[in-house]
Structure 1
Amino acid sequence: MNNEFKVLPKWLINLFLWIGLCAGIAVRSLMLLNRANPEAAVWVWRFAMFSYFIFFAYRYIIGRRRKGVVTRHGLIEKIQAAEQLDETTRDATTYILRSIVRSKELFNYAFICALSLIALVLDFFAD
């Protein structure tokens, strides 16, 4: 199988899912934790920023791979020209492929990833 089309193992996909979920829970618990234990809140915040960095870097890489596969192989044009597909299948597939290419998710993932890293670095230098 071409490495370009290799899907990560399910356990690794699930690991990144849990990293993202834990980061989300950590961020949302900060207000309460800061009242109860401000020192612990700092470490939970650091954990959340590091986890967000990892998760959104992963999402950026996956999104970029998908977009690259669609554009490198001209999948939109090939699907539109495929006569053996019925119109609904062709339109649905074209919609999905166009949404991958046109989506601004890569910018969003890169932006969140960069901000998380910047916040973490600034936090360590501020102490």
Structure 2
Amino acid sequence: MANQTRTSNKYYRLLVFWVGIIATIAYRVIVVLNYYSAFWVQVAWYIGTIGFVWYFAHRYRVENNREKLIKAKRLTSKIYNDKRLNDGDRNALVYVLKSLQSSKAKWNYIAIFVFSALALLYGVYIDFLK
């Protein structure tokens, strides 16, 4: 359990964040590249797919680790029932809270939304309005 209460290295988390952003942009730019080059569509698709596999595997590991730790330590029940937390419980709770506070996932969600909206607007403009 001790290993479960440490967040990933700060630089690794930043790397995964940027991998997610680049994957998002790569997928959304395919809408534009479709009109120019099949080669660059393929390049963007591979960059996006590999990036998303890496990003979402990382997110799954983090979320799964949090869930297991909360269940194993019965943190929800202890807090709800106002039970005393031991040192292991406190360390687990600190890990969960720190990992939530330091997570860049919300920024990836914002980027996915913004670039998806831009790709959709571009696609509608090119396909229906131009």
CA distance in 2, matches of 1:60, 1:8: 13
Residue 119 of structure 1 is matched in structure 2 by none
How do residues 1-127 of structure 1 correspond to structure 2 at under 5 angstroms?
A: 2-82=2-82
Q: State the shift of 1:7 in Å.
A: 0.8
**Among the aligned pairs, what percent are the same residue?**
25
CA distance in 2, matches of 1:9, 1:73: 24
> In 2, Cα distance between the equivalents of 1:49 and 1:83?
45
Deviation per residue, 1:97-126 (Å, 9 max, x gap):
9xxxxxxxxxxxxxxxxxxxxxxxxxxxxx
Please give the TM-score of this superposition, normalised by the length of structure 2.
0.61
Residue 83 (structure 1) shift: 6.4
Q: Which runs of 5+ in 2 are unaligned?
A: 85-92, 98-130
1:2-55 CA-to-partner distances (Å, cap 9, x unmatched) read 211011111111111101110000111001112112111111101111111111
1:102 aligns with none
- Indicate the structure whose relative CO is greater, using CA pairs within 8 Å and at least 6 residues apart: 2
Runs (4+) off by over 6 Å: none
Take 1:73 and 1:66, find their aligned partners in 2: how far apart are those partners?
11
| Partner secondary structure for residue 34 of structure 2 | helix
Alignment partners' CA distance in 2, 1:39 and 1:32: 13
1:81 Cα deviation from its structure 2 partner: 2.1
CA RMSD of aligned residues (A): 2.4
